[in-house]
DNA sequence: CGTGAAATTGTCGAGCC
DNA sequence: GGCTCGACAATTTCACG
């Protein structure tokens, strides 16, 4: 899929991962090319799904989302129906920014973003009342040291 | 800071968190307003830092970044110098997409994105050779159930 | 890949509610 | 103060050499 990517494509993506606001002409200049080829490449990468989407990143602190939890979940249930209910619950809750199914001891990890600890508790109570969960550990973030959506191209 | 935000601002942000590609006119229509007010509000929210940045989200799988680890770190060192070295190491490594300092038992959690398990090991060896770390647990993601950068506005 | 032209969009000012 | 309208500038988009 991504085999037909050369150094120029890579440079373009490095830029777009950081900032999509500059014009194509500016991007072209900064990667040492010109308008048309850059535009064609961006279009192709969008079509191929290499560029999944373009979004605005908001400041959580400014907007009052001051609490971020990593939630480690162990479950005893592993049948398909339980899993479907659980996954749907995660997808339906906007507080859940990330959810991963894991290999090993712990079954799932979530990243949950809420205004405060009380809001987390509300979320947590709602979740465990919806689906049966064996064991939960919540890790509270004190400080976001680094946060990027960029892949290490 | 964000107190001067009304329902219209919220609707605009909900849109931009999902997709920044539509024109201001389209966004205006979808939130039931018109070009100028929407444009003015977006500008203000950028200036106030509510909108931190606008970026392209790439597809990790398509690009061959098929391994994602959550790394739980305990340390014995807590002095300022150690911490500075550690934080700088995290910021310098592009594989580290997120890094949080935690409250409690575990001191830090990282989200690390790499092409494969071998690349993770390389990263891990490099990190522990740079800074002294007491205890590390790596959780390997088998499946990304959900992934969004959107705040639950 | 470069040129250039058409369509669309971003940007902003003047007057109105 | 924010909104509508309208105009101009900049950019995106695309055809052709």
Mean pLDDT by 10 residues, chain B (153 residues): 83 98 97 97 96 98 97 91 95 98 96 98 96 95 98 97
Q: Where are the domains of chain B?
A: 2-47, 67-140
Please check the confidence at residue A19 and state whether its pLDDT lies above 60.
yes
CA-to-CA distance for A37 and A44, rounded, in angstroms?
11
B109 in reach of chain A (CB within 8 A): yes
In terms of Cα–Cα distance, which of A127, A79, A80 is closest to A99? A127
Closest partner residue to B51 among A58, A90, A98, by Cβ? A58
| Closest residue, chain B, to A19 (C-alpha) | B55
Q: Nearest nt (C1') to A26 (CA)?
A: D11
- CATH architecture designation of domain B2-47: Orthogonal Bundle (1.10)
Closest CA to A144 of A72, A57, A74: A57
Surface of A (7-66) touching B: CB under 8 A: 13, 16-21, 48-60, 62-65
CA distance A76 to A22: 50
**Average pLDDT score over residue span A35-62:** 97
Q: What's the whole-model pTM score?
A: 0.94
- 3-state SS class at B17: helix
| Closest by Cβ to B59, choosing from A49, A139, A142 | A49
pLDDT of residue A2: 62
Domain spanning B67-140: which CATH class is it, in words?
alpha beta
The stretch A108-136 carries a mean pLDDT of 96
Residue B91 in contact with partner chain A when CB distance is under 8 A: yes
B101 touches chain A (CB under 8 A): yes
Whole-angstrom distance between the N-terminal and C-terminal Cα of chain B? 15
């Amino acid at each position: 899929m991504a085999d037909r990517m050369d150094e120029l494509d890579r440079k373009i993506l490095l830029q777009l991962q950081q900032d999509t606001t500059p014009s194509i002409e500016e991007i072209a200049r900064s990667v040492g090319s010109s308008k048309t080829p850059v535009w064609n490449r961006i279009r192709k990468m969008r079509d191929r799904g290499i560029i999944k989407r373009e979004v605005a990143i908001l400041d959580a602190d400014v907007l009052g989302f001051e609490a971020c939890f990593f939630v480690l979940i162990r479950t005893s249930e592993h049948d398909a129906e339980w899993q479907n209910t659980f996954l749907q619950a995660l997808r339906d809750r906007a507080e859940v920014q990330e959810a991963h199914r894991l290999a090993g001891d712990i079954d799932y990890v979530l990243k949950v973003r809420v205004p405060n600890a009380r809001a987390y508790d509300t979320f947590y109570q709602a979740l465990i009342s919806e689906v049966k969960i064996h064991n939960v550990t919540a890790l509270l973030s004190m400080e976001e040291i680094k946060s990027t959506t960029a892949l290490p191209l």
